[in-house]
Amino acid sequence: MKNILPFVCPHAWSQAQLWVSALQAAMPEEHIVLLNELNIKERTACEVAIVANPDPNDLKQLPNLKWVHSVWAGVERLMADLDHNPQLKVVRLIDPQLAATMAEAVVAWTLYLHRDMPLYARQQRNKQWLEHEYTPAEEKTVSILGLGELGLAAAVKLKAVGFKVCGWSRSQKSIDNIQCYYGDNGLLEMLAKTDFLICLLPLTPQTKNLINHNFFSMLKKQASLINFGRGAIIDDDALKQTLDFEHLAHAVLDVFHQEPLSQDSWHWTHQNVTVLPHISAPTNRKTASAIVAKNIQQYRINGTIPKYVDRKTGY
């Protein structure tokens, strides 16, 4: 008989059935079902579930859950919602395809800034024919906040383009051709020489509002920022002031405190902001399902739960 494996996601989510189908195709030995299709006995028997932004009340319907596998890489909302259940382990998606997609986005939007595309687009709107000085990539420093699954893949691709690449993480690291920093002093040193700053940090109690007035004061004047991590890592008032005072040249923002971005938000119309609707690295249903399938299969064979989120650090 097949094991029952619930997929828990927001009710009436438009992608729910697509995910159920992709997960089912990746693990024919399991029976993937939405939570509302399970009776009480079946719910009680579940030790593992696959989740995508689940309602915490839905997870409470599975009283014997040991762990959940998220199909997203960022799990801060899930972690915040699970305070009531300190034993439940959360496994987040680690997918090389996702890392490659993010690295591609990082290279694309770094080149957008490096080759002055916002400026030339503005000039075109004003019918202005004006050349600006070109600086080779080799003379520009790109710094990445976060050298995890996504940050490291981005660093390698940026290096291949020719940039000088730095990275900042919580622990000390040594990576070929990437200048690695950690801690407050490391951050200070790195920011002072940064031309393009990429945020690929997870949102945790430590990183919330990390990019604030004090942070911007350490950043090289006329640097630009790309935030592909989470909106709440940036203090938005500090960002606006830093842009208005032209200390920061441009911000490419893919993530916001509130998503979708509200119609009256200042970001939409700020001439030095590029707004993206959280598109830098969408999860690939097929590759993600294959990874989840492998992890579930291992658990069914010998009870191994993959590396899970550390409750203390929040990532």
- What backbone phi and psi angles, to 5 degrees, belong to 100? -65, -40
Specify the residue, 5 or 82, whose C-beta has the smaller distance to ligand NAP: 82
**Binds ligand NAP by CB under 6 A, chosen from 229, 242, 249, 288:** 229
Specify the residue, 169 or 242, whose C-beta has the smaller distance to ligand NAP: 169
**Binds ligand NAP by CB under 6 A, chosen from 57, 126, 171, 263:** 171
Q: Does 198 bind ligand NAP (CB under 6 A)?
A: no
Binding mask 237-266 for ligand NAP (x = CB under 6 A): -----------------xx-----------
Specify the residue, 241 or 284, whose C-beta has the smaller distance to ligand NAP: 284
Q: How far apart are CA 186 and CA 192, in angstroms?
A: 10
Binding-site size for ligand NAP (CB under 6 A) equals 28
Q: Does 278 bind ligand NAP (CB under 6 A)?
A: yes
Specify the residue, 62 or 309, whose C-beta has the smaller distance to ligand NAP: 309
Specify the residue, 65 or 210, whose C-beta has the smaller distance to ligand NAP: 210
In angstroms, the Cα distances linking 305 to 54, 68, 79, 83 are: 20, 10, 17, 20
CB of 281 to ligand NAP, least distance (A): 4
- What backbone phi and psi angles, to 5 degrees, belong to 142? -105, 125
Q: How far apart are CA 123 and CA 219, in angstroms?
A: 27
Length of the chain counted residue by residue = 315
CA 297 from centroid of its chain's CA atoms? 26
Q: Does 103 bind ligand NAP (CB under 6 A)?
A: no
Instruction: List the interface residues with ligand NAP, window 71-100 (CB under 6 A).
Output: 73-74
Specify the residue, 5 or 292, whose C-beta has the smaller distance to ligand NAP: 292
**Binds ligand NAP by CB under 6 A, chosen from 44, 206, 222, 262:** 206
CB of 234 to ligand NAP, least distance (A): 13
CB of 244 to ligand NAP, least distance (A): 25
Residue with nearest beta carbon to ligand NAP: 148
With tokens 């996601």, the residue in question is 9
Binding mask 112-151 for ligand NAP (x = CB under 6 A): ----------------------------------xxxxxx
Q: Taking the CA of residue 205 as centre, how many other CA atoms within 13 Å lie in the half-sphere pointing to its CB?
A: 7
Which residues sit at the interface with ligand NAP, rule CB under 6 A? Answer: 73-74, 146-151, 168-171, 200-204, 206-207, 228-230, 254-255, 278, 280-281, 315
